[in-house]
Structure 1
């Protein structure tokens, strides 16, 4: 491309950024119901890649390349009830990768039959978060896996006890020797599960295809929802590759949102959010429509119109990716 062509493209980008910045300032000053419906601004075709780079959300990458023997073993362990002290549950009991990577319950139940205090988060794309769990207590997937295995309410095991049980199984013992060169031990058990979890990414959502340059991937309504998502300020907390998951935030800034504790939460990812009802840390929002309305009111002091909610929900549906070539949860 000639230097003159480069100059024209960057002039157009500079003009586009100025228009967006001015428009954003005007929208922020207005009540959401007063926000104008703007016609889509069209960039020159040569600037498509540059436009995607300007967005607050980045495309989901494919699964990382990890030793397939370790991943296969990790998947076996993820579905093995022997990881629980009483052989009653596996990781997949609460994190079902055949559906949404979590469960459909407001709260899952602990080993004693009591409800767990927080709604189960999805395991899909979880390794792309900067912390793990609603409270962000753990900094690595290995630490998160270990904590779940020894938590009395979840698996109630010890890593040494799991290794001893698995070591008695000739097939499992051989799988560890093949993948790691030795029998199961606490370190390679956790590493295998973590290796599998790192492959649980869900690329190729329709929004990812739009970011990659497919302008037909989203409908006008979904694009309107994305514009509103940005102009309202939702993207201030929900951005990056995981559309969230990379900072802490206080909930109930203007009005109560859900149960008060914990007051500070890791912002959840919105990837596949249309499949993960019920919503919030206490599971108190039964539908995405309800969650959007409550979030806007509690966090932004905004009462959204039905049209705005419909547009935002339409956009959020476009964030449903694929796992092993199938849409997560069978969603759109």
Structure 2
């Protein structure tokens, strides 16, 4: 019988194999056509090496425009919820960071949800969804959000009645799908919109594409430390995570927390998505970085080391519809920013 190896061993080994393969493929292409420079300018070796670990967020996943526009409308339509008082955007605020400012949002009956709300931005790039990876696809997530009592609590008869009873909305469904709105079309519309919720244009992606001035020397040093101490063994790929499962608490168990296996979260836009972890228990990014180094890597970081990694993580904030994502205001601090006109 083969000896048992913990999950992190396989994660590290797999990452090494994938990184080597990616570098072999990416290096010639990157040297031929660097973004941000002329077609003949080679990428710096440091940027090529980074492309073996992290790949830029694409500008599009090919969402069908009419269906995505319908999904955008449904994403903010409170009429689809059981109480008529909430929508997907209530917890996933796409005007700011795709999540919310609280540790745990509330269910339809006012109880805190079991877990923190992750950002909806770049969710289409994750291999599974939910903190435990319990949701296989965006389609499954959309149905759960619409119908689970803890979320919107709607029912399909009521949802379809609202849509079919709205002449403008019903007409858009017939135009986009060639038929009357049904369960499959509603889910498809929401998923099409969520596939458009990408945040390209981060400074780190720009640097990997050839813009030498996109990140500072201190931020590059933070990335080198992030990679050197082992963070990149789990946080890599286009979403800088969200493509592996890992036990939480490999070297040290987090106090008052079960050592469960969770989906490694994405670090895209992490600088603006506090609070952190599945229970929303950590308020600041430096604290989160030091805790993860301790429990996952067995490393005690100094404040300066944590700050260096935080500086790098700040370069992973991208933009949606031309606007950089922002952290939400603390609850009770005033109204949230309103959507800007779309060009």
Q: Same fold (TM over 0.5)?
A: yes
Runs (4+) off by over 3 Å: 45-50
Separation (CA, whole Å) in 1 of partners of 2:122 and 2:272: 14
More displaced stretch, 128-137 vs 55-64: 55-64
More displaced stretch, 109-118 vs 170-179: 170-179
Of 151, 157, 164, which residue of structure 2 is paired with 1:160? Answer: 157
1:256 Cα deviation (Å)? 2.5
Q: Contact conserved, 1:258 with 1:282, CA < 8 A, in 2?
A: no
1:55 Cα deviation (Å)? 2.8
Summarize the Cα distance change of 1:276–1:259 in structure 2 as closer, same or farther, 3 Å threshold. farther
Matches within 5 A, 1:1-332: 46=42, 48=44, 51-52=48-49, 54-257=51-254, 259-261=256-258, 263-329=260-326
1:48 Cα deviation (Å)? 3.5
Q: Contact conserved, 2:248 with 2:259, CA < 8 A, in 1?
A: no
Summarize the Cα distance change of 1:278–1:330 in structure 2 as closer, same or farther, 3 Å threshold. closer
Separation (CA, whole Å) in 2 of partners of 1:303 and 1:262: 19
Q: Secondary structure at the match of 2:225?
A: helix
Separation (CA, whole Å) in 2 of partners of 1:259 and 1:211: 40
Q: Secondary structure at the match of 1:124?
A: coil
Q: Deviations over 1:54-112 (max 9, x none)?
A: 53111111122322111111000000012211211100000000010000100000001
Separation (CA, whole Å) in 2 of partners of 1:134 and 1:219: 32
1:160 Cα deviation (Å)? 3.2
Q: Which runs of 5+ in 2 are unaligned?
A: 1-19, 21-40, 329-343
Q: Contact conserved, 2:247 with 2:261, CA < 8 A, in 1?
A: yes
Q: Which runs of 5+ in 1 are unaligned?
A: 1-16, 18-44
Q: Contact conserved, 1:258 with 1:280, CA < 8 A, in 2?
A: no
1:216 Cα deviation (Å)? 1.4
Q: Contact conserved, 2:274 with 2:327, CA < 8 A, in 1?
A: no
Separation (CA, whole Å) in 1 of partners of 2:202 and 2:50: 17
Q: Normalising by structure 2, what TM-score?
A: 0.81
RMSD of the alignment, in Å? Answer: 1.9
Q: Deviations over 1:177-207 (max 9, x none)?
A: 1111122110100000000000000001000
1:258 Cα deviation (Å)? 6.1
More displaced stretch, 137-146 vs 47-56: 47-56
Summarize the Cα distance change of 1:47–1:277 in structure 2 as closer, same or farther, 3 Å threshold. closer
Separation (CA, whole Å) in 1 of partners of 2:69 and 2:132: 30
Q: Deviations over 1:278-327 (max 9, x none)?
A: 00000011010110111111111111111111110000000000100110
Q: Secondary structure at the match of 1:310?
A: helix
Q: Secondary structure at the match of 1:116?
A: coil
| Matched residue, 2:29 | none
Q: Contact conserved, 2:270 with 2:314, CA < 8 A, in 1?
A: yes
1:260 Cα deviation (Å)? 2.7
1:138 Cα deviation (Å)? 1.6
1:47 Cα deviation (Å)? 5.2
Q: Secondary structure at the match of 1:265?
A: strand
Q: Contact conserved, 1:176 with 1:184, CA < 8 A, in 2?
A: yes
Q: Normalising by structure 1, what TM-score?
A: 0.83
